[in-house]
Structure 1
Amino acid sequence: MRPILRKVNSNAEHSFSVREDIFPFLYNYWHYHPEAELTYIRKSTGTRLVGDNIEPFADGDLVLLGANLPHLWRNDEVYFQDKGFRIEAIAIHFYEDFWGTDFLEMPENAHIRDLLIEARRGLKIFGSTHRIISSKMEEILGLKGVRRVVQLYEMLDIIARSSEKEMLCSAGFLEEYTIDPNDKINEIYQYALANFKNGISIEEIAEHVHVSPNYFCRYFKKRTSKTFIEFITELRVGHACKLLIEGTMNISQICFESGFNNLPNFNRKFKELVGKSPTQYCRDFSKRNGSSFLHPVAAEDLRSLQNRDLLGRHTGKRAYQFS
């Protein structure tokens, strides 16, 4: 199955789309579209794929994606089990030249033109820029007419001038990725996302997409610039990052819950991909991401968790721990 070209709904009153989503789960198909996309996840958790980048996402995730960059947000399994979970998100889709073909050629707008070029590799936004942009995305839901256009312009201006953003996918992905009408990559991604905690063999996934193991290995490497084993390892490490952030398991438990067979291999692969140990990753994440990034309900949940942990320390019982 190929990555699908998703049609973004618009109407005659507006030159770009602003949408608030409240659904059981996010749109979870590997897809692309000619519009650039600015998405703010108010409330949701799972795994985000942007080009060849794989990361866990949680409440507050804020990314800017350039035109035709394949991506998907895959929610955690609990969202598909009819347990009352709901996602909340705001998405803005706009053509890079929706304000006119010469607008971005003006010298005053050169930084925004450069931003949209950078966004073709995907940009994750954090820090004080995150707080400003997420607030403005909430505001844009109630704006109409020229105020709506000005709001988007101001957001792009702020992001372009900020250093609080990081690229997601590699430059090599953009150079090598092409849309193939017979592409099986979405089918592979969906199967891998559903089964990465288990020991998926090359023979198993090759049989699932009806090709030989040798052909599958060549095909996957050509389409993604990485081996299937590397891809599965990235999924497992990404899931481990999510579990570390949640703080409900120790590192030994997270190792096996993420699909690794032993702790030394888990620690080694985690450090290779993330650049730090699991414990250091959790500490750094806590410093960088405060409750100001979260949906109000999630922030209250976090405070409750912290209060329980504090109570546990006073009573001699740990609410959660890291090895």
Structure 2
Amino acid sequence: MKAVEVYLPQDVDKSFIVFREEGNYFPAPWHYHPHYEFVLVTRSTGRRMVGDHIGYFDTDDLVFMGSMLPHVWVNDPVYLQEKSLDRADALVIHFTEDFLGNGFMNIPEMAGFRRVLKLSERGLALRGKTRSRLNRIIKKMPAMSGLERLSSLLIIFDIMSRTKEYDFLASPMFVQNFQYSSSDRFRKISGYIMENFNKDISLSEIASVANMGVTTFCNFFREQFRVTFVEYLTTVRIGHACKLLVDEDRRSVVEIAYECGYNNLANFNKQFKKLKKMTPTDYRKALEIRWR
């Protein structure tokens, strides 16, 4: 399925967008845009697809997505019926990196949130107390005055910069061209993983690429990527598998498993289900559904 580029209309007297999406269902197609985006579902259930991630949403689900990351929210069938009495409702915030000027995101106070912007290139599903705090703020924003709305957004930035209560959505493979850091060390590590993920990569091997000892590398990797090296490598492999599952050549699951670096089909299925909450076969079937 081909993603389309879409934009929300912006008032000329506002620097960013706060928009209520309401109706029988969410009408946006599989799409992307240059804006960063918060999506808070205030009413409805269904599936959301962010990059190569397929998950389920319910009331109070909150996701933060980076620029140009394809996504779509698809309501459950009850909302799509012509005479349905069920209504869908969501609050959406759109902003660009330079919405307060070219240099705003580079001021010292924004250092923590700049890191979040990089993380958001995979999409972040908020959870726990962080989600509750952000939801309370976002639900009040449509009725706020301009300056109050802006100050609330900055509070959201501050909360986001200090929390660890989120889950990544899209896999690293889906967004393999993203730049998490400008350091040569990061580029070498990321590049090596992307070129060799279908092979066995030992900790000593990848540590030598970074010119580090194994223990130092493990600590560095977890600090930068928020997961262990093994966990990251698994998400890269499963992300590539997701791409192959929807390719037109229709390779078998066994062929895909081997191409992604798995010599054991049972282990591949186990790791895939752990990350995607469904089997490879079910994932392929889910993507064949017509997204509305």
TM-score under structure 2 length normalisation: 0.62
After TM superposition, the structure 1 = structure 2 runs for residues 146-185 of structure 1, keeping only pairs within 5 Å, are 146-175=147-176
Corresponding residue number in structure 1 for 2:137? 136
Unpaired segments ≥5 residues, structure 2: 179-238, 254-267, 279-292
After TM superposition, the structure 1 = structure 2 runs for residues 1-323 of structure 1, keeping only pairs within 5 Å, are 2-81=2-81, 82-175=83-176, 225-228=243-246, 272-274=272-274
Deviation at 1:58, TM superposition (A): 1.1
Secondary structure class of the residue paired with 2:37: strand
* CA distance 1:172–1:222, change in 2 (3 Å): closer
Q: Separation in 2 of the partners of 1:65 and 1:275?
A: 19
Structure 1 stretches of 4+ moved >4 Å: 221-224, 268-272, 275-278
Corresponding residue number in structure 1 for 2:259? none
Q: 8 Å contact 2:47–2:57 — kept in the other structure?
A: yes
Deviation at 1:33, TM superposition (A): 0.7
Q: 8 Å contact 1:42–1:59 — kept in the other structure?
A: yes
Q: Separation in 1 of the partners of 2:159 and 2:240?
A: 37
Corresponding residue number in structure 2 for 1:182? none
TM-score under structure 1 length normalisation: 0.57
Q: Separation in 1 of the partners of 2:11 and 2:170?
A: 32
The alignment-based identity, stated in percent, is: 32
Deviation at 1:274, TM superposition (A): 2.9
Q: 8 Å contact 2:15–2:99 — kept in the other structure?
A: yes
Q: Separation in 2 of the partners of 1:18 and 1:137?
A: 9
Deviations 1:39-61 (A, max 9, x none): 10011111110001111111111
What's the RMSD between the two structures over aligned residues?
2.8
* CA distance 1:277–1:54, change in 2 (3 Å): closer
Deviations 1:166-196 (A, max 9, x none): 111111111269xxxxxxxxxxxxxxxxxxx
Secondary structure class of the residue paired with 2:173: helix
How many residues align structurally? Answer: 199
* CA distance 1:49–1:276, change in 2 (3 Å): closer
Deviations 1:173-222 (A, max 9, x none): 11269xxxxxxxxxxxxxxxxxxxxxxxxxxxxxxxxxxxxxxxxxxx98
Q: 8 Å contact 1:270–1:276 — kept in the other structure?
A: no
Q: Separation in 1 of the partners of 2:276 and 2:119?
A: 26
Deviations 1:211-246 (A, max 9, x none): xxxxxxxxxx9895231399xx9xxxxxxxxxxxxx
Corresponding residue number in structure 2 for 1:315? none
* CA distance 1:91–1:74, change in 2 (3 Å): same
Deviations 1:279-320 (A, max 9, x none): xxxxxxxxxxxxxxxxxxxxxxxxxxxxxxxxxxxxxxxxxx
Q: Letter of the aligned partner of 1:227 in structure 2?
A: L
Deviations 1:14-40 (A, max 9, x none): 011101222100134110011110110
Secondary structure class of the residue paired with 2:175: helix
Q: Separation in 2 of the partners of 1:32 and 1:19?
A: 16
Q: Letter of the aligned partner of 1:38 in structure 2?
A: F
Deviation at 1:151, TM superposition (A): 0.6
Q: Separation in 2 of the partners of 1:43 and 1:122?
A: 21
Deviation at 1:271, TM superposition (A): 7.7
* CA distance 1:73–1:277, change in 2 (3 Å): closer
* CA distance 1:175–1:131, change in 2 (3 Å): same
Larger helix proportion, structure 1 or 2?
Answer: 1
Q: 8 Å contact 2:173–2:240 — kept in the other structure?
A: no
Corresponding residue number in structure 1 for 2:206? none
Q: 8 Å contact 1:31–1:72 — kept in the other structure?
A: yes
Secondary structure class of the residue paired with 2:143: coil
Q: Letter of the aligned partner of 1:23 in structure 2?
A: G
Deviation at 1:162, TM superposition (A): 0.5
Q: Letter of the aligned partner of 1:162 in structure 2?
A: T
Q: 8 Å contact 2:53–2:276 — kept in the other structure?
A: no
Corresponding residue number in structure 1 for 2:263? none
Unpaired segments ≥5 residues, structure 1: 178-220, 234-267, 279-323
